[in-house]
Every structure is written in structure tokens, then in C-alpha cells.
Structure 1
Amino acid sequence: MTGPLLLTGANGRTGRAILKSMAAASIPVRVFIRDEAKADALLDLGASEVAVGNLEAPETLRAAVEGAAKVLHIGPPMYAGELEASLALIDASMKAGVAHFIYYSVMHPLSRIIRHHRLKLEVEELLINSGLTHTILQPSRYMQHLEPIWPKVVSEGVHAMPFDVTRKFNVVDLADLADACAVVAGSDRYNFGTYELAGPEALSQEDMAAIISEVIGRPVEARAVPIDEMKARARAAGASDDRVEQMEIMNRHYDAHGFRSNSVVLECLLGRPANTYRSYVERVAAEKGAAL
């Protein structure tokens, strides 16, 4: 690489995990953030440069990509402006001579009933037709969805999600996804590929609850949260009406279909087995504690 990799979404959960893996792989990263006050924390995580701007301000995108060898673009969760912002970034990258554009998409973008899946599919099409050297990564649902509810799981013995407890998901460890991003960014071998990245086990909420029970040594029950209750909680937490609506559509889709794939592609990229759900839960228990 003759310049840094520009990482959008760098201050989010996904961005921070990817930044750590990039730093471990000695890949220089210029982080793109909205709030300059977050810069020092990201520099401490391994960023080499900071660019301040906004995905909705094309002039800041043009400045951010200048001199970058690669771009890894992570759109905000359920972002209604994903198509427009991504198009602006792709255009800026083309004009700046970026050598490789990596798009962090979603598994099953063809599930177009879910808006952010449909928008990511449209971005994929734009990127493929742009002429840029590109790689598309399609991650599954994260194992890390457990962490915000971990204290409640431990204290109340309930693992609650807003969908059928028997539906199967190939949840994936964000740590594996981050390492896969570093692999792709560090080599030209994966140029022009589209890679579906999922975990190694098809697990229902009941399966996950059973694994958590075994790890913490206490019973944990899987429970389906009614959609209306999920919506009320989201509104109480400050979610916008649009965000609540999109959450409902997504979770109704999960309730009907689950989210299935396999870990073959992820393990080929990593050159090792993907992390299991049990290994992830053991890590969370060690970091966050399992005491009542």
C-alpha cells in the first residue's frame, strides 16, 4: 500500500473492531469520523490518521479519500441515506484514484423487503458497475447482540429476542469479521470477489440459551419478545419512528425465516476455524462476569 486505508464508520462497534485488526496486521488506517472529540480514542486503538467529516457532506468525503490507497466503507445501521452516501464515496474514490474499494454490506441483500438489505444490494450493483477494483463483504448477524442484554441474561435467566425461539441463525463473531477485513485489505488476492461471512453453527435462540446456561452454570430460558413490546422499548430508548419501523420489518423477517448460511468462506479467508458461539460466550463471561 502506498497510502492509508480510509475506514468509514470507524467509531462504531464494527469500525472499532476492524481498526484493531487492521492495526494488528500493520495496515495504516485513516479513520473517518463525525466527532473530532473521538479522535484520540481511535488513535489509541491504532489509527494512523484522522479525517473529520460527514457521509452526507460530499466535500468532506473528497478530502478524506485524497491520498488513500484503499477504502473500507461501513454504512451506519439501517441508514436511509445509504445509497446516496455510498454513491458519493464511490465517486470521490474514483476521482482520487483509490486502488481498492471494500464494501461492508450484509448477508442476503436480496431480502429486499428489509430496506437496509435492499439499499446495500443497490450499492453493490453501483460498485460493481463503477469500474473500481472492489471487494464486497456480506456479514451475518453478530454474536455480539448478546452483549447489551448480558446483565439481564445473567440476573434474570432469560435470553429474549423479538422472534421465534426455534428459528436458526448462523451468527458470527465480530472478531472474526474484523480479522477477515484485514485479510482482504492486506492482499490483492480477494479483489472483485463477493464473500458471504457467517458463523459455523446454525443455532436457535433455544440453542444459544442452552450454551449460555452451560457456561454460567445456571438455567437460562429462551423467550420471544412480542414485536409490540420490542417497539415500545426501542421508542423508550430514543429510537426514531423510522428506525422502529425498520426494526419491526427485519425482526418479522427473522421470525419467519431465520438467517442461515455457513462458515466455509469465512474460514477460507481466515485460514482457521471460525469462532464458535460457546467460545464467544466464554469470552464474554470472562470479560463481563457471570455473577448474580
Structure 2
Amino acid sequence: MLLPSPSCPTIRVITRSAPNIESTFPPALRSPPHSIVIVNHYESDEFFNAFQGMETVFHDGLNVHPNEAAMGVTAMDASRKHGVKHFILVSILHPLRRKLQTHLNKLTLEEYLMESRLNYTILQPTHYMQNVAISTVRESGKIPIGFPSDIEHSFVDIVDVVYVSLLVMKNPTKHKYARYELVSQTLTYAQIAQTLSEALGREIVCDVIPTKEFMAMMESSGEIENEFTKNAIEGMMLYYDRWGLTGNSNVFSWLLGRQPVTWQEYARREKEKSDAI
């Protein structure tokens, strides 16, 4: 959305190393004037100095990571030291739900940012629709979840989140000191399965997996690498079993200037992309 624009500013991506990490970014982002800076240690001078010369920082930290809060604080300190004009933090819907470790980390970062004397905007997206991979679900006919399918959750299309992020980047002064809840639809996973069945033209069901078995699957796939992450995700499963995660779409609709993308629209879009391959 931003790279093809003639008015695209110089972009510097700061990320950690991973196999073929640079190839995951568009070729245009790997060519001057843009750049990708690979830093593996947030305590290093290399990380701190990577913020030099930046006007706007868009920080989307590592979720469910033992050092998430420390990394975010260091990014804010570096931004202030190097005179960054605006800091955009990707937080989470309802960080005040402190029983959830992921939300508590975000709450810590929001508080630190508000007291950092930086100009800021805080984006609070709920669950991404992309967490349900349409191509995989279409093939298997199942949505695997580790909690009941009859509890309501709120969702948002990451493409809509990117659009709003760009609005903030292009006019940060207008969004100074704002905290925005980014929510589209609120429904149960059972309702999502029904919606996908209609959109994809085949039966889709929820595969409700016992929590311990679900956690074991995540460990074997490498999604859980340490005890901190395991504890946080297990707590999340138990929390969702009781309360889910729900919000309101009014603020997001106002920012977009239209209704957010729905599950039906998301499924159809992804199906069309898959069919075109």
C-alpha cells in the first residue's frame, strides 16, 4: 500500500535474524533508499543506534515473548534519544485484562509510552482473521481451537489494520495521543465455521481440542519455545474458555470511513486469491 506511492518515505525495518528473513520482505524494501537492519540483541548499541535519523517509529513487538516489554521500552528510549517525532505502538484489544500475560505486557508498554514524553498513537487490534488460514481450513474442513466454540470473540482483518496504520503514519499529528480499538465482527467460532461453510462451498466444523493436547501440538510445531510462552498461552486458553475477548467496532468504522471487512468478505477474498493461483 505504501511502497508503490510516489510520496513513500524512506523505510527502515529493524528485525531479528531468521532463515531467509530478507526474502520475506518485498524486493523494493530491500533496495535503496529503504533498508532492512537485522539485530539479534535489543540490549546492544546496534539496536539502539538503528533508530537514529527516524521520524516515525511503528513498533509491533514479539507477542508472548519473555522480553517483549523490555524490547519495547528500549525501542521507546532509543526513539526519544534520537529525536523521533512520533511513536506508533501496536498493542492489543483491552490490555487492562491483566489476567492475560500478553495483555499485561502491552499494558506495561502503553503506560511507559504515555509517560515517555514521545508523541504517540496506540493501536489495539483484536484477534486477526488471518489466524484462521482459509486455504488450510478449506482443505481440511476443520478449524482447530483449544477452547469452546460457543464463546464470543472479536476479530479484525489485518489488511484493514494496515490501512489505518498508514492513515496514522501519513498524518501523525491528527492522531497524537490517541488509543484506538480495532474491531470488526464479534461472533463465536461455531458461527465462523458456518460463515466459512457458506463462503467456501463445503462443510467447515470446529475441531475443539483439549487444552493439554492443543498445547502439545503448539510445542511440537515450534510455536512454544519456553516455559514463559507455555504458561502465557495456557492461561489464554483458560481465559477464553470463560470470557472470550470482545469489543466494539464503532471506532474502527470511523477511522476507516466505512464498515470493516467481515468474515464473509475475508473468506471470499482469500478464496479468490487461492483460486487464481
Query: Is the structural similarity TM-score above 0.5?
Result: yes
Q: Report the CA distance between 1:61 and its aligned residue.
A: 2.4
User: Does residue 268 of the first structure (1) align with residue 254 of the second (2)?
Assistant: yes
Instruction: Identify the residue that residue 174 of structure 2 maps to in structure 1.
Output: 189
Q: CA RMSD in A?
A: 2.0
- Contact 2:90–2:123 (CA under 8 A) maintained in structure 1: yes
**Inter-CA distance 91–231: structure 2 relative to 1 (3 Å threshold):** same
- Contact 1:234–1:244 (CA under 8 A) maintained in structure 2: no
- Contact 1:29–1:49 (CA under 8 A) maintained in structure 2: yes
Instruction: Identify the residue that residue 47 of structure 2 maps to in structure 1.
Output: 61
Q: Report the CA distance between 1:122 and its aligned residue.
A: 0.7
Instruction: Identify the residue that residue 208 of structure 1 maps to in structure 2.
Output: 192
Q: Distance in 2 between matches of 1:155 and 1:180?
A: 32
Q: Report the CA distance between 1:154 and its aligned residue.
A: 2.6
Further displaced range: 245-254 or 28-37: 28-37
Q: Which residue identity lines up with residue 38 of structure 1 in the other structure? A: I
- Contact 1:78–1:116 (CA under 8 A) maintained in structure 2: yes
Q: Distance in 2 between matches of 1:209 and 1:43?
A: 33
- Contact 2:29–2:35 (CA under 8 A) maintained in structure 1: no
- Contact 1:235–1:241 (CA under 8 A) maintained in structure 2: no
Greater fraction helix = 1
Q: Report the CA distance between 1:272 and its aligned residue.
A: 2.1
**Count of residue pairs brought into register by the alignment:** 267
* Aligned partner of residue 170 in structure 1, secondary structure: strand
**Inter-CA distance 251–71: structure 2 relative to 1 (3 Å threshold):** same
**Inter-CA distance 44–197: structure 2 relative to 1 (3 Å threshold):** same
Structure 1 runs not aligned, ≥5 long: 1-20
- Contact 1:100–1:132 (CA under 8 A) maintained in structure 2: yes
TM-score of the superposition, structure 1-length normalised?
Answer: 0.85
**Inter-CA distance 231–120: structure 2 relative to 1 (3 Å threshold):** same
Provide, for residues 122-141 of structure 1, a one-character-per-residue CA deviation record: whole Å limited to 9, x for no partner: 11101100111011111100
Instruction: Identify the residue that residue 164 of structure 1 maps to in structure 2.
Output: 148
User: Does residue 125 of the first structure (1) align with residue 105 of the second (2)?
Assistant: no
Q: Which residue identity lines up with residue 230 of structure 2 in the other structure? A: V
Matches within 5 A, 1:245-256: 245-256=231-242
TM-score of the superposition, structure 2-length normalised?
Answer: 0.89
Further displaced range: 118-127 or 244-253: 244-253
User: Does residue 22 of the first structure (1) align with residue 23 of the second (2)?
Assistant: no
Q: Report the CA distance between 1:40 and its aligned residue.
A: 5.2
**Inter-CA distance 77–289: structure 2 relative to 1 (3 Å threshold):** farther
* Aligned partner of residue 189 in structure 1, secondary structure: helix
Q: Percent identity?
A: 29
- Contact 2:127–2:155 (CA under 8 A) maintained in structure 1: yes
Further displaced range: 91-100 or 219-228: 219-228
- Contact 1:22–1:28 (CA under 8 A) maintained in structure 2: no
Q: Report the CA distance between 1:41 and its aligned residue.
A: 4.5
- Contact 2:153–2:187 (CA under 8 A) maintained in structure 1: yes
